Amino acid sequence: MLDVPCGTGRFWRTFSDHGVSELVAMDFSTGMIGCASDLAFPGGMQGMVVQGDAFRIPLATDAVDFAACMRFIHHLSMSEYRRTVLTELRRVSSRHVAVSLWVDGNYAGYRRAAKRRQPARAGYGGRHCFRRRQIESEFEEAGLRIVRWFDVWPAISMWRTYLLICD
């Protein structure tokens, strides 16, 4: 499994509890790599922590069965940046991809839309709530098909996690 960006390793226990035995944890930030490297992998899980860029993942095609990108894509305001990351996740995963982000169609999304929108800008920036139709078409363009989605608090929260399968 690939966890990108891995941050401080906050999801590793969950991955281990759900059967992940080998993990490649990757982050761009040397600070996050330092924090993550200090942790022991939980539950006998084997792995390595590497520095890398989600826009150019330094792994071979189909290198992992599952790639997770948690709490990152909602920081990418420009569609082409999201598609680049999604295409890279698809490239390195032979089976499944999971992403978490903010979507509309809920109370928090409605409130956020009522505020002034942040302009799109290149690279990593503030958090954005996406139209479900838009982000789901970006999944399809990247060669990913939705298996299922999970809302943190249905009808209330913007947080949604998608489980995607590689086509």
pLDDT at 38 (0 to 100): 86
- Number of domains comprising the chain: 1
Amino acid at 21: S
The C-alpha angle 137, 59, 96, rounded to 5 degrees, equals 40
Identify the CATH number of the domain in which residue 62 sits.
Answer: 3.40.50.150
**Is residue 6 classed exposed, middle or buried when 0-12, 13-18 and 19+ CB atoms within 10 A define those classes?**
buried
| Residue 85 CA from chain centroid, whole number | 9
- Antiparallel, parallel or unpaired: β 22-27 and 46-51: parallel
pLDDT at 118 (0 to 100): 66
pLDDT at 143 (0 to 100): 98
Per residue of the chain (167 residues), what is the pLDDT tens digit? 999 999 999 999 999 999 999 999 999 999 999 998 888 899 889 999 999 999 999 999 999 999 999 999 999 999 999 999 999 999 999 999 999 999 999 999 888 888 766 666 666 677 889 999 999 999 999 999 999 999 999 999 999 999 999 98
pLDDT at 40 (0 to 100): 86
Whole-prediction pTM: 0.92
Q: Which domain holds residue 12?
A: 2-166
